[in-house]
Amino acid sequence: MVSFIWLPHPIPTCRGLGFLCCSVFRIWWHISKLLYVQYFGGTNFGRTAGGPLVATSYDYDAPIDEYGFIRQPKWGHLRDLHKAIKLCEEYLISSDPTLEKLGRNLEAHVYYKSSNSCAAFLANFDSISDARVTFKGNEYFLPAWSVSILPDCKNVVFNTAKVVSQRHPAENAFTRSTSTHEVSLATSDWSWYQEYVGIWGTNSFTKSGLLEQINTTKDTSDFLWYSTSIYVNSTEDRDGFLNVQSMGHVALVFVNKKLLGLGYGNHDDEKFSIAQRISLEEGINTLDILSMMVGLQNYGPWFDVQGAGIDEVVLAGFMNGNRDISSQNWTYQVGLKGEHLGLDKISLANSSYWSHGSSLPVANSLIWYKTTFLSPQGKGPLALNLSSMGKGQAWVNGHGIGRYWPAYLSPPTGCTENCDYRGNHDSSTCQRKCGQPTQTLYHVPRAWVHSGENLLVLHEELGGDPSKITVLTQTDAEVICSVVSEDDPPPVDSWKPNTNELVSRQSQPEVRLACSDERRLISSINFAGFGNPGGNCGSFVPGDCHADMSSFVRKACVGKKGCSIPVMTESEELDDGLCSGLVKRFAVEAVCS
């Protein structure tokens, strides 16, 4: 799964992913292993992002993000799922499952090793209603759209809807840190190079008609200039429309070296058209069209012959009728002059090509920017916040960190505040970032950064403000949380086989906390409460039924890399009236530093 530049992010929930994985084992028992579409996020550095129009970040809310940080609770929930399935291993390979109907949308798939030894998957396919089922003489609670795993056909060790693993307050490695270090480049010493519009080199060539872009550039560059001239005599009408048809992906149109218009496609349909009113001058007028690629198509039928570039140019609305200039002579130039010069290279950092002055030009199209920044302290990965830029590419110390396009906003509708894991999911389910850029943070591996000054080069195609760029890194602190209910099973790894049944080393569920970095220790407890706490990780608040457990948790956890705390079923601090009938939860928020 990939993130398309023009779409909001669909979020695969950990509960939904767990249900899907369990369903695979429940139904397709002949498979020998489960293949995740994506487990580890990544980054399409340089021009490697496929597509077309695929974002540089290939993360997609994976259990391990593109910076190498574990994304909780998804990673922990899938870990527990794997452990639960591992407990069923000898049963899964011993026989095909037996299907038992437990009610409407309720099933049990039972794997027998012998007549009195089995493992079972209990499933509730109802996307709305929870259920209580009876299986082999015992009653079990099955939340809607969930699967329970019983490795001994008796004890529930895991349910896909019950997330007991550690969690973080935010989706992103930089936003879940309590002390993310952000360095502004506003006061940096900036230089710039204004790109030449149109044909710039002696290696240009002229052909009649419009050429397809990929075969012309051989993928040596994202850019191809299409240049021609339009002659207007003294008797001809000078005002009309310019209509440009493109096979993809983006184009800038210049008339007499002045920017006239912009057009672009999307992943579903990379073709687009540009229609702009123009006013020509008497005599020779220049028309320069810069066609830009945003990744090569890398899958689908006939993907290797998909074209790109300009395929029709028509002058319309003039007194003498429409004039199709597609077949006249066009001069072609592959790439930009700045590319040819190698402005992204460290060797040209002090070149005379770069201009310098007190007034940094912003909002210019086709301009290169250069500055240096000091490496932030620490060993963690870095990110560039390019939300102030339009569209282009960026390099750090000569390494391409990818294409950026924050100016392209996703549609404003279709997102939801609360994501419901229940029911079938597709690309429109649980979307976020509606009306926002798909990506604003761009990964810079620490290995590419020096201890002193580092060179940052950007080629801005549409217009932006580089002085608002910031460099981010994670520093010393991290917020971690855990929420466990009194009716959750003991931890999966506490169960051990004993003859034909499982026995847990402990009889209670427990809260488990662990710092993600081995160099960190739990330094403080922000919240610890038992009852019906409100809010989420990072914003817990006491509920009506509440027992403050902060002192107890501090003694058990502070100064340690991790800790485990059994979930109690009673507390003298709880009000019997306010807590009567509630399934109580133990919520803890801690800081690692």
Cα dihedral angle (28, 32, 38, 40), rounded to 10 degrees?
150
CATH of 181-195+343-473, one of 2.30.30.60, 2.60.120.260, 3.40.50.720, 3.10.180.10: 2.60.120.260
Angstrom distance (rounded) from CA 177 to CA 478: 5
State pTM to two decimals. Answer: 0.90
pLDDT for position 32: 34
pLDDT for position 174: 67
pLDDT for position 195: 98
Topology at the third CATH level for domain 476-593: Jelly Rolls (2.60.120)
Indicate if the alpha-carbon torsion angle 251, 252, 257, 258 is positive or negative. Answer: positive
Domains 205-335 and 476-593 equal at CATH topology level? yes
Cα dihedral angle (470, 471, 475, 478), rounded to 10 degrees?
60
pLDDT for position 347: 98
Q: Using an 8 Å Cβ cutoff, are 310 and 210 in contact?
A: yes
Report residues of the chain scoring pLDDT below 50. 1, 6, 24-34, 176
Considering only CA atoms, which of 149, 121, 154 is closest in space to residue 139?
Answer: 154
The CATH architecture that domain 205-335 belongs to is Sandwich (2.60)
Length of the chain: 593
Angstrom distance (rounded) from CA 372 to CA 346: 11
What are the angstrom distances between the C-alpha of 584 and each of 544, 557, 570, 571, 576?
Answer: 11, 22, 9, 11, 12
- Domain ranges within the chain, ordered by starting residue: 1-37+72-161, 181-195+343-473, 205-335, 476-593
pLDDT for position 27: 43
pLDDT for position 337: 98
pLDDT for position 33: 40
Considering only CA atoms, which of 515, 461, 468, 509 is closest in space to residue 371?
Answer: 468
Long-range Cβ contact pairs of 387-391 (< 8 A, separation 24 or more): 387/437, 387/440, 387/468, 388/464, 388/465, 388/466, 388/467, 388/468, 388/469, 389/458, 389/460, 389/464, 389/465, 389/466, 389/469, 390/460, 390/461, 390/462, 390/463, 390/464, 391/250, 391/460, 391/461, 391/462
pLDDT for position 31: 33
